[in-house]
Structure 1
Amino acid sequence: MDSLKSVWLGLILAASVGTCCAQPVPEPAPPRAPAWAYPVLPSTAPPAVPDDGVKHTLAGSRQAFTRAELFDLFTAHDWFPESHPPMPAVVVRGRPPEVRACGMCHYPNGQGRPENAALAGLPAAYIVQQMQDYKAGLRRSAAAHAGPHLRMVAAATHVSDEEVQAAAAYFAAQPYRPWITVVEADQVPLTQVVTGSMWAAMPGTAREPIGQRIVEVPQDLGLTELRDPRSGFMAYVPPGSVSRGRQIALQGEGAVLACVSCHGPDLKGLDPIPPLAGRSAQYLYRQLNDMRLGVRAGPGAAAMRGFIGQLSPQDMMAVVAYAASLPP
C-alpha cells in the first residue's frame, strides 16, 4: 500500500513540475535588419560587371559609355542630358575622394534605385535636413556596414553647405515619374544581391514562396546595369498587402495616425514632409524600420517613432506596399 502511494505521489509531482515548467515559448524577435530589406553585397561576390571596352548605347540616346565609365562613382554619366537642366558640379562629378557624384547613385534625373533614395520631387528643405542628420550622426542604418549608407555618411561629412543647397534645389525641381510596379504574389523569382547592393532575379524561371517580405527587383537587369533612367523596378508583396496598407494609411490603426494626415492626400507629401507615393517599397520599409529602432533619429524621425512602434513588421510592409502602388 505504501509503495502504491509513493507511485501516485511521484506521478502527481511529475505532473505538477511539468505544468509549472511548460511556459509558452516566445516567438523570436524580428531581426533588426532583415536581409530582404537590407541587401548587402557579400564579400565573396565577383567584382562589378567587367568592362569589355565596348561603348554601349541606349535606344533614344545619342550618348555612348563603357561599363567602366558607368560605374565611375565620381561621374554621373548622363544618357539624356537634354531632358533636364544642367546638373550642379557636385551632382555630376562630386568631389574626390569622399564626395561621390550625387547623380551617379541617384541618377541624373533623381529617380534612384531601391538601395538609395529617389530624390526627384522631394522638398529641398527635406533633402538639406537629411544631409544635416547624416553629418550629425542622427541618420544611421540598422545595417551600418552597408555600402550605400557608408557612402552617404562620408559625403555628408565632407560636402559643403553650398553644395548641399545646390543639389537639393536641383533634385527638388525634377519631377518624380512612375518607377515601381507593385504586384501581389504568393510565388516570386529566386533572387541574388548584385553590384549596387540590390536584389535581382536570378536567371531561369524558378520560383519560391514570398513569405513575409517584399521582393523588389529590376524590370530589366541588363538596362539597370547600364543605368537606364527609364527602366524601373518590380516590387512583389504578400497577397492582401495593398488593401491592408490602404486601411492604415487612410484610417490609421489604434493610436497610429493615418499616414495621409501628415503626408497629404494620396501620400504626395506636404512640404516639408516628403511624398511617399510611388517610391521604392524596400527603401520605404528600411526607413520605417530605422525610425522604429531609433537609429534614424532626426527631427522628423523622432516624431514618427512613437507611431511606428505600434505597427508590426507586417503592418509596415503593408503600408509601404500601398504607398509604392500609388501614382506619384
Structure 2
Amino acid sequence: MKKLTVALALLLTASAAQADLEWAYQVFEEQLHEVDENAPRSVPGSTESYTQVEIDDLWNPPDWFPDDHAPLPEVVARGAGENVRACASCHLTSGMGHPESSQLAGLPVGYMMRQMEDFANGSRTDRFWMNGFAEAISDEDALAAAEYYAAIEPIDWVDVIESDTVPTHYVGDGRMRFRHPDGGTEPLGNRILEFPQDRELATARHPYTGFVAYAPVGSIARGEELATTGGGGRTIQCTICHGEGLTGLAEIPGIAGASPIYTVRQLNDIKTGARSGPMTALMIATVANLTEEDIVALAAYLASLDP
C-alpha cells in the first residue's frame, strides 16, 4: 500500500508539472490574421513565388533559396509517402525550425538517429507527429535527413528580452504564437514566450527569419548561475556534457542558442517521464530538483547564447 501511495504521489506530481507548463506546448487556438491563400507571395532576395496553399503543403514546402544549400534529400524536400511529411515543412531548409518543432542544424548524425529510434519505440513522446513519422520512415531516409542537417551551421535565431509584460497574443496556424492584431500587453508571469521577428516571413516559412523571446526579468542571470555552477547543488553544470560554450561535445548536442520554448518542453518532458531512453538517462539527475522557475531561467540563458 505504501508503494502504491508513493507511486500515485509521483504520478500526480508529474501530471501537475506537465499541466503547469502547458503554455510551452503551443496548441492551435484560432486564426485572427486574414490571408488570401491563393495570392502569390514572395520574400526579399528570392526569385521564387508561392501561394499560401503551396507554402502550407507539408509534402512540398517552399525552397526560397535553393542555391544556398546542398541538394535536398527527397525526404527533406517531399517526405516519404503519406505517413512521412517533408522534414523542411517544420524544420525548414536551414534546419533552424520554429518554436513548435526544433532546430536540427548542426546536430550530430548519431544523436539525431538515436532520437528517431526513441520516437519509434515510444521512449520519447511527441504530442503531435514525430512518433508516427519515426515509425514509418526508413533508416535510409532518416540517415539522409540527419546527414543533410548535420552539415549545416546553425545561425543566431532568438533574441531574448527580459520583461514583466508580453504582447497580447494567440497561437495560430503552424502552432506559432502571434501578437494579437488588436495590440496590448499582459503580465508575462513565469513564462518564456516566442514570437516571430517578422510574422509575414515566418508564415512564408522563410529559412532565415528568427524569433523574439520574452523572459522574466532576471531569468538570464539566474539561468547562467544554474548552468555554469549547478546552483549550489540544485543541478549539474551543463558544460560537463555539452562542452565549453555549450555547442556540443562528440555526439552530445549543442544547446547554446536553442529555442527556449523547445528547451522548456524537453526539460519538462524528461522530468515528467515523457522523454526517456539511454541518452536521456544522463539528464535525469540534472532535472530532478529543478523548479518551473529554474527551467524557464535555464531556457532564457541558453537562448541568449550564440549557437
With normalisation by structure 1, the TM-score equals 0.85
The change in CA–CA distance for 1:220 and 1:47 in structure 2 (over 3 A counts) is: closer
How far off its partner does 1:255 sit? 5.3
Greater Cα radius of gyration, structure 1 or 2: 1
Q: 1:151 aligns with which of 95, 115, 129?
A: 129
Deviations 1:187-213 (A, max 9, x none): 110110011112111124311111111
Partner of 1:53: 38
State whether structure 2 residue 104 is matched by structure 1 residue 125: no
Aligned Cα RMSD in Å?
1.7
Instruction: Find out whether 1:32 has 2:11 as its counterpart.
Output: no
In structure 2, the partner of 1:268 is 247
Matches of 1:99 and 1:29, distance apart in 2: 33
Whole-Å separation in 2 of the counterparts to 1:114 and 1:250: 25
CA contact (8 A) 1:112 1:118 kept: yes
Which residue number in structure 1 is paired with residue 61 of structure 2? 76
Q: Is the 8 A contact 1:245 1:319 kept in 2?
A: yes
- Measure how far apart 1:34 and its partner are: 2.1
Contact 2:215 2:300 in 1 (8 A): yes
- Identity in percent: 42
Summarize the Cα distance change of 1:134–1:52 in structure 2 as closer, same or farther, 3 Å threshold: closer
- State how many pairs are aligned: 292
In structure 1, the partner of 2:268 is 289
Matches within 5 A, 1:292-303: 292-303=271-282
Instruction: State whether residues 48 and 195 of structure 1, in contact with CA within 8 Å, keep that contact through their aligned partners in structure 2.
Output: no
2:169 maps to a residue whose letter is: T
Unaligned runs of 5+ in 1: 1-27, 145-149
How is 1:74-113 mapped onto 2 (pairs within 5 angstroms)? 74-113=59-98
Contact kept in structure 2, 1:210 and 1:238, CA below 8 Å:
yes
- 1:114-170 CA deviation, whole Å, 9 max, x = no partner? 0001100111111111000000001114xx3xxxxx321111010000001110000
- Please state if 1:308 is matched with 2:271: no
Give the conservation status (yes or no) of the 8 Å contact 1:51–1:68: no
Q: Is the 8 A contact 2:226 2:234 kept in 1?
A: no
Judge conservation of contact 1:119–1:171 (CA < 8 Å) in 2: yes
C-alpha displacement of 1:53? 2.0
Partner in structure 2 of residue 136 of structure 1: 121
Does the aligned pair in 2 maintain the 1:200–1:217 contact within 8 Å? Answer: yes
TM-score normalised to structure 2 length: 0.91
- Any gaps of 5 or more consecutive residues in structure 2? 1-14
Quick one: distance in 1 between partners of 2:90 and 2:132?
14
Match of 2:197 among 214, 219, 222: 219
Question: After TM superposition, which residue ranges in structure 1, 4 or more long, deviate above 6 angstroms?
Answer: none
| Alpha-carbon displacement from aligned partner over 1:265-291 (angstroms, at most 9, x marks no partner) | 121111211111111000111000000
Residues 1:49 and 1:121: Cα distance change in structure 2 (over 3 Å): farther
Structure 1 counterpart of 2:305:
326
Q: Residue 302 of structure 2 aligns to a residue in which SS? A: helix
Verify the 8 A CA contact 1:279 1:324 in the aligned structure 2.
yes
What amino acid does structure 2 have at the position aligned with 1:277? A
Q: C-alpha distance in 2, partners of 1:49/1:322?
A: 35
2:152 to 174, 179, 184: 174
- Mapped to 2, the partners of 1:137 and 1:247 lie a distance apart of 34
Aligned AA (2:276): A
Mark the CA change 1:79 to 1:205 in structure 2 (over 3 Å): closer, same or farther.
same
- Whether 1:116 and 2:101 are equivalent positions in the alignment is yes
For residues 299 and 33 of structure 1, the distance between their equivalents in structure 2, rounded to whole angstroms, comes to 27
Confirm or deny: 8 A CA contact 1:76 1:108 kept in the other structure. Answer: no
Structure number with higher relative contact order (C-alpha < 8 Å, ≥ 6 residues apart): 2
Give, as a single letter, the amino acid of the residue that structure 2 aligns with 1:211: G
Q: Distance in 2 between matches of 1:212 and 1:305?
A: 23
